[in-house]
Amino acid sequence: MTRPQPSPQSVTTAPESLREEQGSRIRRYLVMMAIRTICFVAAVPLQGWMRWTAVAAAVVLPYVAVVFANAVKPRAEGTITPVTPVVPMLSHEAETLEGHVVHHPRDP
C-alpha cells in the first residue's frame, strides 16, 4: 500500500510565519507601553480633566496592550491551495522537426 504524496502548498496561501507574527505582537505591545509612558509624563504638567484623562489612559493601557499582545491570529482552515502540477511541453515521444532558418533582408 503506497502512501499518498503530499501536495506542495502555494506560497501565496501560506500563513504568516510564527516569528513574524510574534514580532508584530511585540512591536504592538511596545508601542502601547510607550504611549503609556508618555501619558504618565504628560500627566505631570497637565491640569484638570486632561491630567485625569492621561492618568486613566496610563492605567487602562497595560490591560489593553496585554490583550492585544496575546491575541493570536486564527489559522484559517481550508485556505491551503495545492500547486498546479506543471506538465512538460515535450515528452520523450515527441518528434523533432527538421528545417532551416530564413533570414529577412531587414534582419541585422
Q: Per residue of the chain (108 residues), give pLDDT as tens.
A: 566 666 665 556 566 777 888 888 899 999 999 999 999 999 999 999 999 999 999 999 999 988 888 887 766 555 566 667 776 666 666 677 777 877 777 755
30 vs 37: CA distance, rounded Å: 10
| Three-class secondary structure of residue 9 per DSSP | strand
pLDDT of residue 79: 59
- The residue with cell 522537426 is 97
pLDDT of residue 97: 73
| Three-class secondary structure of residue 82 per DSSP | strand
Q: What is the DSSP letter of 13?
A: G
